[in-house]
Chains A and B, each alone.
Chain A
Amino acid sequence: SQQGEEDPQALSIQEGENATMNCSYKTSINNLQWYRQNSGRGLVHLILIRSNEREKHSGRLRVTLDTSKKSSSLLITASRAADTASYFCATTQGGSEKLVFGKGTKLTVNP
């Protein structure tokens, strides 16, 4: 079952602009994680935000979590061509150990 759904499916911006991606989920979560994937390669963990946190920063990344709206957003500031990748959110539900990924947002940053 698909828990997280990213929006938009694809995003194309110019270098230096900010990129915002959203993730919506259906059931209550324990935490939410964001991952990045360069084409055809393994996913790389970006940030984990727990259900009792509202915002988290890591370098140029800012993640917010709104449990009342069952949504999260990932903001990449001052984007670079090297940020071109697909970005996925992942959640665990209730007491389950299953990690459920969304379908991803494909970000293209044009130089």
Chain B
Amino acid sequence: EAQVTQNPRYLITVTGKKLTVTCSQNMNHEYMSWYRQDPGLGLRQIYYSMNVEVTDKGDVPEGYKVSRKEKRNFPLILESPSPNQTSLYFCASSLGRALGYEQYFGPGTRLTVT
């Protein structure tokens, strides 16, 4: 089944403890991206990647890192999480450029930083 998977689905952590949220897609998609969703603010893009080893900042990249060493994986790294990063995170992928292709979303990761 074609899908985007994220792990973990739920995570409660403490301020400053490094964490990684994994994202994987099995559709051979080139474009992958991360979003955070907060009440009243909608979805905001954190980082996106056009292809392996090509990443770029979205609208809210501060406090986050990403890497794209393999086409199928696009992990989101929080080196030193803070409470303002408590949010619902979504990974998405698409066949090609964001300009012309639908995005396939993962199920989401609900992160709480205390």
Contacts and interface: CB of A to CB of B under 8 A. Distances in A.
Nearest to B107: A42
Contacts of A100: 45, 59
Contact of A45 (B31, B43, B103): B103
Contacts, number: 68
A108 B14 CA distance: 36
Contacts of A102: 42
B107 A97 contact: no
Nearest to A2: B42
Contacts of B97: 97
13 contacts: A31-B99, A35-B103, A40-B108, A40-B110, A42-B4, A43-B43, A45-B104, A88-B43, A90-B103, A97-B31, A98-B48, A98-B98, A102-B42
B56 interface: yes
B25 to A, nearest CB: 12
Interface string B64-98: 00000000000000000000000010101000011
B12 interface: no
Interface string A69-111: 0000000000000000000101010000111111110000000
B87 to A, nearest CB: 12
A41 B108 contact: yes
Given A41-B107, A43-B90, A98 B59 contact: yes
Interface string B25-56: 00000010101000011111100101000001
Interface string A56-74: 0000000000000000000
A101 B45 CA distance: 8
Contacts of B33: 99
Given A101-B42, A103-B42, 16 more contacts: A1-B59, A30-B99, A31-B99, A31-B100, A40-B108, A41-B107, A42-B106, A43-B105, A45-B103, A48-B100, A98-B48, A99-B33, A100-B59, A101-B45, A102-B42, A103-B40
